[in-house]
Amino acid sequence: MKTITFREFCRDAERIVRAVERGQRFLMTYRGRPVMHLEPVKPALEVREDDPIYHLAFLADTKPESR
């Protein structure tokens, strides 16, 4: 992980953001102290309409259990 300063980020934010989009991670420092990580966001899982989770109510057994 590469370390960058807050000043570097302000000066060259677009280049740094593009590097993060490509998968690079950064540790940002402010006044010589580490303050945050910059890293790519994991893509959200795509759920399709035919996913069984949408049909759980239909698949559920709603009959009372006889004892």
CATH number at residue 23: 3.40.1620.10
Classify residue 20: in a domain, yes or no: yes
Classify residue 4: in a domain, yes or no: yes
Classify residue 63: in a domain, yes or no: no
Instruction: Note every long-range contact of 43-49, with CB atoms under 8 Å and residues 24 or more positions apart, other chains counting.
Output: none
The answer for 46, left when phi > 0, alpha when psi is -120 to 50, beta otherwise, is beta
Chain segment 25-55, per-residue pLDDT in tens: 999 999 999 999 999 988 777 777 777 777 7
pLDDT category, 66, cuts 50, 70, 90? Answer: low
Q: For the whole model, what pTM was predicted? A: 0.61
Percent of the chain at pLDDT exceeding 90: 60
The total number of structural domains that make up the chain: 1
Classify residue 50: in a domain, yes or no: no
